[in-house]
Structure 1
């Protein structure tokens, strides 16, 4: 499923101080998609709200950090956690506050409430109180409303692309001359300032990756 852009055409027109409808919707949409893709690639996050995403991640530790953040659990968005043990790939659905606890984006495994059996790998192949070798998560993640500092970066990148669509270094017409910023040449790229603004949302290097 394609993710939507992290800002709207109306936002872009306002950022560029243009009247509503001034931008070609095709060009504006393309600029916003490209800018959103660059931001998502840098962050390693979807950012937009995604509901009921199912993914398998490696376990083996006491604490499991969900790959996509923030984790959203409320009356509309539920969290389903299934341990996949070896041998036999036995699947066990766990219950929050009985088998594990949740704090922010981290799930901490408790001791099993059920009687361990050899089929489930307890205790011969798996230490009690840690996650099974593989865990299946069905969870919701991201922001229903994109944070303003992320929107600002996307709009800045999109504005750069639209201000220099032909990737020119400079332009001169009669007595008029303009030199474009280097960031707008060869497609707008994230600047050190952009990266600093985005850093609080970036996936930590130690976060688990999809298997």
Structure 2
């Protein structure tokens, strides 16, 4: 199921002080969806609140530090709750969260050659923001507005001796719904760091 856009057409219309025609609403929604996908790809998060069931490969950890058999890193955040955990298909309640780390207290790791197949941990958890953080929504709408204001992506042109300059960076970079360096810096605090590899979604 596609993820919802990170800002609504109504929010965009309010921001711009405009009333969209039905055709313009369709265009605005398509651009909001595109900008939302770009923001999600950059930060590595779904952002909107959802409940997900994913399967991860358990990794070994420092038992002296963590006092557990293994761990997985849940990629989506912020994590609101974890409702179910299974290891190799067996339900377990012997786990706890440490930030985005799900730590499993005890699990018998297989000896060779089965040891080459680490345990698979299936986790159902609720994550994300509701509502979407204001700065993220603002960046999505700002990216869409660039296209609505200047769809041809022209920085300047001269017609009949008159010069017109458009609001595109002085580098000449035609951004469209892509992210500017300033927008990336704002989004950097949301970016996901490297963690466990997700092997499949249920």
TM category, shorter: 0.7 to 0.9
Partner of 2:139: 153
Q: 1:196 is matched with which residue: 181, 185, 198?
A: 185
The 2-side partners of 1:176 and 1:10 are apart by: 34
The 2-side partners of 1:171 and 1:49 are apart by: 44
Matched, 1:63 2:85: no
Q: Deviations over 1:54-91 (max 9, x none)?
A: 21111123332102222222xxxx5211111xxxxxx3
Question: Cα offset for 1:141?
Answer: 1.8
Q: 1:179 is matched with which residue: 166, 172, 178?
A: 166
Q: Deviations over 1:12-33 (max 9, x none)?
A: 12333x2344681012112211
Normalising by the residue count of structure 1, what TM-score does the alignment of the two structures yield? 0.75
Partner of 1:88: none
Aligned length: 184
CA change 1:171–1:30 in 2 (3 A) is farther
Unaligned residue ranges in structure 1 (runs of 5+) = 85-90, 127-131
Partner of 2:99: 104
Conservation of the 8 A alpha-carbon contact between 2:71 and 2:102 = yes
Conservation of the 8 A alpha-carbon contact between 1:164 and 1:185 = no
Question: Cα offset for 1:176?
Answer: 6.1
Conservation of the 8 A alpha-carbon contact between 1:70 and 1:143 = yes
Unaligned residue ranges in structure 2 (runs of 5+) = 61-69
Say what the alpha-carbon RMSD is for the aligned residues. 2.7
Conservation of the 8 A alpha-carbon contact between 1:80 and 1:93 = yes
Question: Cα offset for 1:171?
Answer: 4.1
The 2-side partners of 1:27 and 1:142 are apart by: 27
Partner of 1:36: 36
The 1-side partners of 2:53 and 2:156 are apart by: 48
The 2-side partners of 1:192 and 1:185 are apart by: 12
Partner of 2:18: 19
Matched, 1:93 2:91: yes
Normalising by the residue count of structure 2, what TM-score does the alignment of the two structures yield? 0.78
Conservation of the 8 A alpha-carbon contact between 2:143 and 2:179 = yes
Matched, 1:83 2:87: yes
Partner of 2:2: 2
CA change 1:12–1:171 in 2 (3 A) is farther
The 1-side partners of 2:43 and 2:21 are apart by: 31
Q: Is 133-142 or 29-38 further displaced after alignment?
A: 133-142
